[in-house]
Structure 1
Amino acid sequence: MPKQTPKPGPRPGAAQSVPSQRVVPLAHAQSSSANTDPSKFGRVDDAGNVFVTRDGVERQIASWQAGSPEEGLRHYGQRFDDLIVETEVLEARLTAHPEDAHTLHRSVTELKDSLKDVAAIGDFAALEARLEELLRKTEVAEHEAKELKQTRRANAIAKKESLAAEAEEIAEKSTNWKAAGDRIRAILEEWKTIRGIDRTTDDALWKRYSRARDAFNRRRGAHFAELDRNRATARRIKEDIIARAQAIQDSTDWNATARAYRSLMDEWKAAGRAPRGVDDELWAQFRAAQDHFFAARNAVNAERDREFEANAAAKDALIDEYDALITPEKGLGAARAKLRELQEKWDEIGFVPRNKVRTYEDKIARLEQRVADAEESRWRKADPEAQARVNQFQEKADHFLQQAQEAEAAGNSSKAAKLREQAEQWQEFANVAAKAVDEQ
């Protein structure tokens, strides 16, 4: 059989043609596993024929005419080292970007398929085994990437479903309009950061959020429209209140007018707030009318108080005089008579300043209580038998109650109940007797 004429080899330094999808390393790139001895896996004879041994079979792969056989062997060994470097690049890419496993699997397959016709000398068995292992790793990484993608998709869907549900809850129930509006906007910003959901699902979730946002905006708009109407009504009511307040601000019927102003204030509070900016102005007008009236009343009262200071001084003199005369321990009848004299003179003097009324009531009350205490003490001493009956009834009640407790402790509930009933009867007698003593 005639010897097959070998095909001319590439020019020195020419790059091997590979599919466009493959990663092509720089010519003669260095690798930790490159620079293997090509003489172990092929040869170049003196005629320039290039041979490689693969799977125990030697075959011619090219013809070398650009230098010595040794230079040709180095050249085709370097071409094999380039294949190793390309393999290492693919391995590094898989390690750095496992999510690109699908694309890398295709690149590894193309590189492995290209080994059948590549003109290079090296350990093809080891390289093919390495590429087979890399294919297996890309398949594992691709499977893991799919699972991770599905997990991320599920998490993204769950997050957007949660945000949509929150927006729907806000749209339906929230009345804290400022905070709710801020949260609706914050949800949108968070929504934009969530990726990895298919278009159909994402569109459906977006419609939920969008409908909720629109519903919230409509409800908020309706609320503030109603609020504006209520404020307009409040403004009309308050303007009427101001007119009535101004109409009575010069009245000198102090008590009746003061009550009228209190009633107007209640109406004012019930009216609610007028529009912003107007409410403060209305309040200033209403307050001015009140202040005008109460300032006039206070001026009159201040003048009266100055007149009443003399009355206070006169009542102080009475207290000083009668404090030593009202002495029940020296004679209760005489003490009563002096107290009546004091009370008559006290009333004749008249009013004291308003801010001293309580003080002077306490001063005369101290002397009145002195006589009352003496009368109480005398009465109790005058009827010792009545108090003795109270004590006797109470002792009976206490006695039966003690017996009831002892019977209960002994486990005789029936006897305890009867004794307790008797104790209650005697206690009732004691209470009635004590009340009679107090009322005598």
Structure 2
Amino acid sequence: MTTPQPKPTPKPGPRPGAPSPVVLAQHATHPVKVPVVAEVTDEQIEAAKGFGSVEGESVIVTIGEDKVTVGDAAGDDPLVPFAKAYYELSASIERFHARLASAELSPKDIDDSLGSIAPQLETPAVVGDIAALRDRFAAVQKEALEARERIQAEREAARAEALKTREHIVAQAEAIAAKPEAQVHWKNDTAELRALLDTWKEAQRNNARIAKDAERELWKRFTAARSGFEKARKHHFAQLDKDNAQVAGRKEDLVAQAERLAESTDWDRTARAFKDLMGEWKTAGRGRRSVDDALWKRFQTAQDAFFEARRSASDAEDEALSGNVEAKEAAVVEAEALLPLTDLETAKRQLRAIQDRFEDAGRVPRADVARLNKRMGAVEKAVRDAEDAQWNSRNPELERRATGAAAQLESAIAELEQDLAAAKEAGDKRKVKEAEEALAARRAWLEQIQGVVN
């Protein structure tokens, strides 16, 4: 059988009937048209058959200077199935290229696709322009490897950012858990930890995956922070409940005492007792607000009831005592008439009688007590002062001391008079002035002492 001569290899360029180049989108968000194998035209079949031949029982494809057996010859036109397979292989390359542009592939998908297509070109089982298809695949392969590196770098950056996000979430949780109890705002910090848990879940759903070991370690730290905070929160509120119960018990006791005192008519002692209870209330501490408010209302009600009763009793007593004011006022007016004192002994006798009438007049309303006592006290003080003055003027010891002091002053005055005369004769103005001042002082003292002695 004569071997058919191979047809000339077509120049590179669009092949008749070959799929047209597909314009690919530049961004993954744009739709990408993926080529598929439609019905291959007769013209395309003939173009592909130009690179093949049948030798004996085999189908041969010409690749440059080489001839490669691609399969067994069968049927009336053995080259047709192999020509159609060529277009299918070409379409698979274009589909892969389109998927690259759509950013739908992972590095593994790229490796798998390259690993699937490359052997079909290395050991072809198709008839067509294998050299051109290899060139096309080489260009696509170059893009694929670049895309693989880019995707890998983007994924590494996304994983790094995701790891950073998780670490930040954990650091925030640990910072909240590490707060001193005095700085913790239990309501806000609890809400913040819940929000951080939601943020963690959101990061798991939407962010890039991180290494499982790193995720397990971060989750362990996050859980430990939340558990530690929750343990501290439970302890805080358990202690708070205990403290509140103690405060409530103490205030309940104070309220019970106040309610018992509310019925007392021992006005002065009970008023002091209420003052003491108020002091204890202030030092009892603060409990749960609702309980504190209810207990305070009871305490205040008991206190108000007592003091209202005391005011009512006092008003009634003042009303009953108002008739004594006139007699007491008359006694005060009579006492004030003794002033100014002219005869001390007579005034003392009269004052004692007036004081008796003042006391016999009885109690008066509170509003009048201080006023009347003050006026009577002023008269009593005037009498006492007069008695003191009379006693001092007749005191023998005081008179003896005054006589001795007068003699000493008289002697000193005589010496100062001699000094003054000498200074004047000498014309010493400074000594004259000093002697005159000393002499004037001693004469004034002598005059005072002579008044006591006489």
The TM-score range, normalised by the shorter chain, is 0.5 to 0.7
Moved more, 188-197 or 167-176: 188-197
Q: Is the 8 A contact 2:110 2:144 kept in 1?
A: yes
Partner of 2:247: 234
Q: Is the 8 A contact 1:77 1:120 kept in 2?
A: yes
Name the structure 1 match of 2:171.
165
The reply on whether 1:200 has 2:209 as its aligned counterpart is no
- Whichever residue aligns with residue 219 of structure 2, its letter is W
Q: CA deviation at 1:350?
A: 9.5
Equivalent in 237, 243, 247 of residue 224 of structure 1: 237
* 4+ residue segments displaced more than 6 Å: 45-49, 301-307
The 1-side partners of 2:127 and 2:319 are apart by 127
Instruction: Work out the CA distance in 2 between the residues paired with 1:156 and 1:51.
Output: 55
Match of 2:227 in 1: 214
Provide the rounded CA distance (Å) in 2 between the counterparts of 1:291 and 1:102: 86
Distance 1:80 1:108 in 2: 17
Aligned to 2:155: 149
* Aligned with 1:52 (options 61, 78, 84): 61
Structure 1 CA distance, aligned partners of 2:228 and 2:366? 72
Q: Report the CA distance shift for 1:30/1:294 in structure 2 as closer, same or farther (over 3 A).
A: farther
Partner of 2:299: 286
Residue 241 of structure 1 and its aligned partner are, at CA, apart by 0.9
1:185-196 to 2 correspondences below 5 Å: 185-195=194-204, 196=209
Aligned to 1:42: 51
Are 1:38 and 1:73, in contact at CA under 8 Å, matched by a contact in 2? no
1:141 to 1:27, Cα distance in 2 relative to 1, 3 A:
closer
Once the two structures are overlaid, the 10-residue window that deviates more, 206-215 or 46-55, is 46-55
- Distance, in Å, in 1 between the alignment partners of 2:319 and 2:124 is 124
Q: What aligned pairs does 1:85-124 form with structure 2 within 5 A after superposition?
A: 85-97=91-103, 99-124=105-130
- Residue 127 of structure 1 corresponds to which residue in structure 2? 133
TM-aligned CA deviation for residue 306 of structure 1: 10
Partner of 2:203, secondary structure, is: coil
Which of these residues, 173, 185, 188, is aligned with residue 176 of structure 1? 185
Scaled by the length of structure 1, the TM-score of the pair is: 0.55
Per-residue Cα deviation, 1:199-250 (whole angstroms, up to 9, x for no partner):
2222222222222222212222221222122122212211221132123213
More moved, 169-178 vs 57-66: 57-66
Q: TM-score, normalised by structure 2?
A: 0.53
Deviation at 1:277, TM superposition (A): 6.3
RMSD: 4.2
Which one-letter code corresponds to 1:164 in the other structure? V
1:105-144 deviations in Å (ceiling 9; x for gaps):
2322331212243332222122111211222222222222
Count of residue pairs the alignment pairs up: 289
Q: For residues 45 and 152 of structure 1, do their structure 2 counterparts lie closer, same or farther at Cα, with a shift above 3 Å needed?
A: closer
2:49/2:80 contact within 8 Å kept:
no
Corresponding residue number in structure 2 for 1:243: 256
Give the aligned residue type for 1:163. Answer: I
Judging changes above 3 Å, is the alpha-carbon distance between structure 1 residues 262 and 84 closer, same or farther for their aligned structure 2 residues? farther
- Are residues 1:139 and 2:145 paired? yes
Distance 1:96 1:305, change over 3 A: farther
CA-CA distance at 1:27 after TM superposition: 9.0
User: Percent identity over the alignment?
Assistant: 31
Q: CA offsets, 1:50-99, max 9 Å, x none?
A: 443312445554454433x4xx5544322111111111221122222355
Query: What residue in structure 2 maps to residue 396 of structure 1?
Result: none
Aligned pair in 2 of structure 1 residues 155, 305: CA closer, same or farther (>3 Å)?
A: farther
Q: The residue matched to 2:93 in structure 1 has which SS?
A: helix
In structure 1, how many angstroms separate the alpha carbons of the residues matched to 2:295 and 2:74? 108
**Conserved in 2, the CA contact under 8 Å of 1:105 and 1:135?**
no
Q: Which runs of 5+ in 2 are unaligned?
A: 4-33, 321-363, 369-454
Change in Cα spacing, 1:62 to 1:219, as seen in structure 2 (3 Å) is: closer
Secondary structure of 2:61 counterpart: strand
Letter aligned with residue 89 of structure 2: L
